Amino acid sequence: MQPRQVIEISRKMVAFRLLYTVFFLIVLEIIKLIIQVSVLFQYLYLFIAKSYSDRLRRFTNKVSVYGYRVMRYVTLNENRNPYPFTDFPEETDLPENDVFFQ
């Protein structure tokens, strides 16, 4: 484990980070709502069409990666500002090819 570099922190820097964090906590709640609605829609679609929507799976995969990045930022585990201050994150794990029901 490498020793941490000592960085001079000002209260102004902490205040700005706190404001960004509050903003992204609100964004995180919106992300949760989007995922919840998407899950319900996906299951409704699955009941009706007897297959899942691949486009919706890819969308929710991207949204979940974004949510993960936001959580890392607000918990001080990542310094890079999430979208909309940077590019939307790329998918890290692609959805599995087949979905099984047990």
Structure tokens at 41: 């829609």
The predicted structure's pLDDT at residue 84: 67
Q: Please give the share of the chain, as a percent, with pLDDT higher than 70.
A: 81
Segment 45-66 shows an average pLDDT of 90
CA–CA separation, 14 and 93 (whole Å): 33
Segment 10-36 shows an average pLDDT of 93
The domain segmentation of the chain, as residue ranges, is: 32-93
